[in-house]
Amino acid sequence: MSEYILEIQNLTKDFPGVRALENVSLKVKRGEIHSLCGENGAGKSTLMSVISGVYPKGSYEGKVLYKGHETGYHSVKDSEKEGLAIIHQELALSPYLSIYENIFLGHMQTKFGIINWNYYITESKKYLDRVGLTEPPETTVSRLAVGKQQLVEIARALSKKVELLILDEPTSSLNDDESEKLLNLILEFKNQGITSVMISHKLNEVLKVADTVTVLRDGKSISSSNVKEEQLTETRIIRDMVGRDLTRRFPERKSAPAETVLEVKNWNVYHPDYHSIKVVDNVSFYLRKGEILALCGPMGAGRTELMMSIFGRSYGSRSEGEVYIKGKKVNLPTTRAAMDAGLGYISEDRKNLGLILIQDVKTNISNANLRKLSKMGIVNKNEEVLEAEKYRRELNIRTPSVDQITRNLSGGNQQKVVVSRTLSADPDIFIVDEPTRGIDVGAKTEIYHILNDMVAAGKSVVMISSELPEALGMADRIYVMNEGRIKGVLSHDEATQEKIMQLALVN
Ligand SMILES: Nc1ncnc2c1ncn2[C@@H]1O[C@H](COP(=O)(O)OP(=O)(O)OP(=O)(O)O)[C@@H](O)[C@H]1O
Ligand SMILES: [Mg+2]
């Protein structure tokens, strides 16, 4: 038996106008955790799709050897039969089916045409146990938070006797606690002999769990390093990813906040389904011109609900309280009204980014900004292209052209299109909800630069961030929330990770 469970030899994969992978070689040892790193658009997801049969044999050049023999998969079903499971960047469960149906979907056995549901419910409990989910198997998947949905996907993989588990950015939408649990699970699988390949932009997590790290750059394999033997560091990985050293992740800024531009007083928001439950509880805060404000706190603290309810009442069955923009009391019943009042919002929801995936990149970027780009109702196409090109350059959106269909962009590059769209609408007050989720280290710094330039030009930013270093590095002030309430506020100079966590826990 070969030491390697997976070997990729000289793999090249083209899409119209794009060479996604060029002569890539990679070896994954049996039983190890192998991490794949690289910038947005480097080819990571494409490579995993080739391995798992999403792209069938014949659509690429080169060889994929799995358990010692060359694969020739025509679909994911083929690879699943051989114990290969992939968990995609965007979750792929059926939201309206139950947990156990999702686990066994497509591989239930019938006896005389009848499915023994009870058997599958009991059986699913075994796998839910292994991933640490305590929800009843009959629960509808859409009721679960993202982190738990991810665990259902993993339970599904286990039910198929997985030997090689591929995880594409599994922790990108999880908080610290959930991420840690997931990483521990992967380590536990390693003890059980399951091999994992994990794609991630979170290099600290990579170094925590991986035995080997492979870096892709521009579709080429750059390096494969043994983490322990080579004492691999984040700096080394970044250098291989971007081809140079990245010195400062958080650019320096001289902050000079001026007068208050947004003030929210005694804001209460009620749950969309359960009308008597308060999700945001009597919150007051202010934001100044030229200021970056961060909202920190654990998942479920009410940060997104707070900001979405202010932004045109996009969340909740009801919200009460007062909002002042530049000293004037406003009522913002719709997102249009919020945008007209100078607010812009970048949503955290990766699956539902608000992009129209079948439309091209330039149309998506100009979508929020058609008024500026049109005259008497007609969109000026040249202006539209120029605007899109500007953001393609500034944020390094990887696409052969701005006419590309957005769905064909890599996950991180789609996120950059979302950021561009809101920037292009040129709001005075910019609400960004996890703006750098799924974005590589280099592009993150670009986004920080842009936010800094915006506040230097007199705009204001409210940033919801689960990455504490990001909040600490960028914000003038940090409001700490938990359980729907503001628990405290810290200035840039006094804020530390410990103080933020402490504040979140006070009663
Ligand atoms: N179906 C497709 N049609 C055309 N181009 C594609 C398609 N799928 C991927 N690409 C292109 O192939 C390249 C690699 O994309 P891929 O999704 O593998 O990147 P990635 O490394 O996973 O990036 P990210 O970190 O953003 O997820 C990108 O330039 C992307 O635009
Ligand atoms: Mg990807």
The pLDDT tens digits for 94-104 are: 889 999 999 99
Class of 250-342+428-507 in CATH: alpha beta
Res 307 pLDDT > 90: yes
Q: What is the mean pLDDT of the chain?
A: 89
- Read off the pLDDT of each residue in 15-36 and give the average, rounded to a whole number: 95
Domain range list for the chain: 4-242, 250-342+428-507, 354-426
Phi, psi of 180 (to 5 degrees): -60, -40
| Angle, CA of 402, 406 and 407, to the nearest 5° | 150
Looking at ligand 1, which residue's alpha carbon is closest to its atom 27?
Answer: 411
For residue 354 the two structure tokens come to 């608000």
pLDDT band at 377 (very low <50, low <70, confident <90, very high): low
**How many Å apart are CA 395 and CA 416, to the nearest integer?**
7
Which two tokens mark 391? 């953001």
> Tell me, what's the pLDDT at 477?
97
What was the pLDDT predicted at 450?
Answer: 87
The response to whether residue 413 sits with its C-beta less than 6 Å from ligand 1 reads yes
pLDDT at residue 371 greater than cutoff 70:
no
Q: Can you give the pLDDT at residue 351?
A: 56
> Quick one: which atom of ligand 1 is closest to the CA of 413?
26
- What would the DSSP string read from start to end of 368-420? GGHHHHEETTEE-HHHHHHHHHHHHHHTT---S-TTSBGGGS-HHHHHHHHHH
DSSP class of residue 108? -
pLDDT 10s digits, 202-259: 999 999 999 999 999 999 999 999 999 999 999 999 999 988 777 677 888 778 889 9
Per-residue model confidence (pLDDT) at position 408: 92
Find out whether 368 and 422 touch, Cβ atoms under 8 Å: yes
126 pLDDT exceeds 80? yes
* Secondary structure in 3-state letters for 257-323: CCCEEEEEEEEEEECCCCCCCEEEEEEEEEEECCCEEEEECCCCCCHHHHHHHHCCCCCCCEEEEEE
Looking at the CA of residue 49, tell me the nearest atom of ligand 1: 18
Helix (H) or strand (E) holding 79: helix 76-81
Instruction: Give tens-digit pLDDT for 44-71.
Output: 999 999 999 999 989 999 999 999 999 9
54 lines ligand 1 (CB under 6 A): no
Average pLDDT over residues 16-30: 94
Helix and strand counts by DSSP (H, E) for the chain? 17, 24
Whether 4-242 and 250-342+428-507 share one fold: the answer is yes
Q: Tell me, what's the pLDDT at 72?
A: 85
Indicate the pLDDT class of residue 22, thresholds 50, 70 and 90. very high
pLDDT at position 174 is: 78
Query: How far is it, in rounded angstroms, from Cα 278 to Cα 502?
Result: 23
Over residues 401-427, the pLDDT tens digits come to 999 999 899 988 988 898 888 888 889
- Give domain 4-242's CATH superfamily: P-loop containing nucleotide triphosphate hydrolases (3.40.50.300)
Give the pLDDT band of residue 178 (cuts 50, 70, 90).
confident
pLDDT in tens, 253-279: 778 889 999 999 999 999 988 888 899
Q: Ligand 1 pocket check: which of 8, 15, 200, 437 to mutate, most ligand atoms within 8 Å of Cβ? A: 15
Classify 401 as helix, strand or coil. coil
Helix axis angle for 117-131 and 146-159, nearest 10°, is 110
Highest mean predicted confidence (pLDDT) among 147-161, 183-197, 379-393: 183-197
By most ligand atoms within 8 Å of CB, the mutation choice from 11, 14, 35, 46 for ligand 1 is 46
pLDDT score of 262 = 97
Query: Average pLDDT of 329-341?
Result: 92
Give the sheet arrangement for strand 477-482, strand by strand. Answer: 343-346, 429-433, 460-464, 292-296, 477-482, 485-491
C-beta separation of 378 from 494 below 8 A? no
pLDDT higher for 438 or 403? 403
Determine if ligand 1 sits within 6 Å of the CB of residue 41. Answer: yes
Residue 353 pLDDT > 60: no
Give yes or no for a contact between 433 and 347, defined as CB atoms under 8 angstroms apart: yes
Pocket of ligand 1 contains residue 409 by CB under 6 Å: yes
